[in-house]
Amino acid sequence: MNQTNQTETEQTNNDPLAIHYRAIAIDMHADTVQRVLDEHIDLQQELKDGHLDAVRAKAGGLDAQFFSIWVEPQLFGLGGERAIKRADDQIAAVRALAEKHPETWQLAVSAADVRRAAADGKIATLMGLEGGYAIDERLENVDRYYKMGVRYMSPAWSVSTSWAGSSGDEVGASRGLNEFGKNVVREMNRLGMMVDVSHVSDKTFWDIVTTSTKPVVATHSACRAIADVPRNLTDDMIRALAKTGGVVNVIFYPEHIEPGWSQKKKQLDAEIAPLVQQASANEPGDAVHKKLARDRVRTEQYARRLPAVTVSRIVDHIDHIVKLVGIDHVGIGSDFDGVQATTSDLATIAELPNLTKELLKRGYSESDVDKVLGGNMLRVMEEQGGGK
Ligand SMILES: [Zn+2]
């Protein structure tokens, strides 16, 4: 090889895009499958709205997507048949996606599956249950969802259950895991289903890390030291989670990453409440479609009237976690299609390479980038053990 060629090779090797596309990128949390169910979107097309589809995922170098199987308790209940059906419908939609479009999506339940899909140029398709409502307070349902392919569960979303407190309501402030809740964690450990602390109350967090014998994850959270919202993790929590061997996957949502954004959003929410209500009243569809109509107004208003946030702020949270506990305990969880605002330069999954560019700009090495984008989560998935 002559001198010119060598230089060219080196340039290619150090190219941020080459580094990005070489790495296995795993997004731990997106709500896109609800759009498939409720809006009948075709994920194979490049969509004009929302944050994720097959075309933009490919452009963004995404190798694995955990789809959130989210049961909204106000619409579907804290348990019972409707909650179970809502979860089952989403799981069926994810499976159908892989069955109809095997050229793009490959169902996956393990780190080995993810590596295989990435090597085949497919997107590994995984599932996590957001909020434990669908287990309907029955331990056997944890096993049922594991068998259906679910590989993580957060005990509570924004509403507490009898067995797990949430960071999103008042009762959660004094509620952790009860004995049943601890048994749920033990059952998840036994099966090899990751325990997700995103959305849970502080008390529940501490009960989880002291109960779990396997690495614990936050699938879409950030640092309270930077953005002081109850959904985020304190430095002590990040240290405790890292001690379990777990990973904090940093969320991309401005409300949870930008200081003061949450307060500004609250003020704006109060101002636009009549507009939001009007959109809901004008929507002829069911409760799900009324919620979509309300969210469309919010999306438009937030984009116009709230401060822009950039990918650099996401990396501030990654930096903070790395300074606290090292490079082995941080990953990414976009929350795409579950939020009404995004950063301006990582507005959809297609712009994921901008995250890698920012990491490299700040001095992270290629192997650091590999860990942040997905390597750390591959390790945690391998360490869950359990069944197949
Ligand atoms: Zn969430």
176-188: per-residue pLDDT in tens?
Answer: 999 999 999 999 9
Gap from CA of 262 to ligand 1 centroid (Å): 15
What confidence score (pLDDT) does residue 13 get? 67
Which letter, b or e, does each residue of 372-388 get, where b requires 16 or more Cβ atoms within 10 Å of its Cβ? bbbbbbbebbeebeeee
Residue 163 near residue 137, CB atoms below 8 Å: yes
Chain segment 178-229, per-residue pLDDT in tens: 999 999 999 999 999 999 999 999 999 999 999 999 999 999 999 999 999 9
CA of residue 339 to ligand 1 center, whole Å: 9
Residue 248 alpha carbon to ligand 1 centre in Å: 14
**Burial zone of 342 (CB within 10 Å; 0-12 exposed, 13-18 middle, 19+ buried):** buried
Q: pLDDT at position 12, please?
A: 53
| Local structure of residue 372 (DSSP, 8 states) | I
| pLDDT tens for each residue of 38-86 | 999 999 999 999 999 999 999 999 999 999 999 999 999 999 999 999 9
Cα 365 to middle of ligand 1, angstroms: 30
Q: Are 35 and 41 in contact (CB under 8 A)?
A: yes
Backbone φ and ψ of 151, nearest 5°? -120, 0
Checking if the pLDDT of 388 tops 60, the result is: no
Average pLDDT across the chain, whole number: 95
Output the CA 61–ligand 1 centroid distance in Å: 23
Residues 191 and 146 sit within 8 Å (Cβ to Cβ): yes
Give pLDDT, residue 14. Answer: 79
Residue 157 CA to ligand 1 centre (angstroms)? 7
* 3-state SS track over 140-188: HHHHHHHHCCEEEEECCCCCCCCCECECCCCHHHHCCECHHHHHHHHHH
344 CA from centroid of ligand 1 (Å): 20
In the predicted structure, residue 353 carries a pLDDT above the cut 50: yes
Ligand 1 center–CA 48 separation, angstroms: 23
3-state secondary structure of 217: strand
Residue 160 CA to ligand 1 centre (angstroms): 14
Q: How confident is the model at residue 131 (pLDDT cuts 50, 70, 90)?
A: very high
Going from the Cα of 39 to the center of ligand 1, the distance in angstroms, rounded, reads 19
CA of residue 182 to ligand 1 center, whole Å = 21
Read off the tokens for 293.
């109509």
